[in-house]
Amino acid sequence: MIMPRGQEQLLLPVSGWFLWGSLLTALILNMLPVGPVTWLPDWVALFLAFWAMHQPQKVGLGVAMIFGLLVDVQQASLLGQHALVYCCLVLAVLLLRRRLVWYSLVSQATQLLPLFVLAHVFLMLMQLLSGAPFPGYTLILAPLLEAVVWPIISILLLAPQRRTPERDVTRPL
């Protein structure tokens, strides 16, 4: 595989425990009792998009469906609502991933911003069609915060893969 521009080392394979642990952490972050605030980022969508871009063989539409159903049950929303949105988001990331990995983290965030906006708009439309009240205009901040947090999340989630398997200063790679 050709290395993306600016990346000076090969990444180690991701640990399954780390991948699933990070997705469960995102699910727990979504479950925090913060009240009815609409401007918080959707952590599960953010982590699913990240892992779909970097580990498409491990995180795909099935994982997005399962975590979407878990979020639906947790939020007592229309069953399948988040699952459908997460599947659409992961599918879009999978289609764009070959292009996205070549960009810097800030450029990735700007490329993913429309996907995050569409995900939130689609969720809002489904909620409005099911009879829920309008959530407010602070909903606009959620995809913006997701785009702002994207570089930080990327650095944190790629950090364990960047370490060398053995600590040897004379090693060429």
For the chain, which residues make up each domain, given as ranges? 42-159
pLDDT of 2 reads 47
pLDDT of 57 reads 93
Return the residue matching tokens 């570089």: 151
Structure tokens at 83: 């699952």
Structure tokens at 119: 């995900």
Q: Identify residue 141 by its one-letter amino acid code.
A: L
pLDDT of 139 reads 85
Q: How far apart are CA 173 and CA 170, in angstroms?
A: 9
Q: Measure the CA dihedral 64/67/69/73, to 10°.
A: -160
pLDDT of 94 reads 96
Q: Taking the chain (173 residues) in consecutive chunks of 10 residues, what is each chunk's mean pLDDT?
A: 55 83 94 81 95 93 95 89 96 94 93 95 91 85 94 90 67 55
Return the residue matching tokens 């909620």: 127
Q: What angle do CA 26, 70, 128 make, to 5 degrees?
A: 100
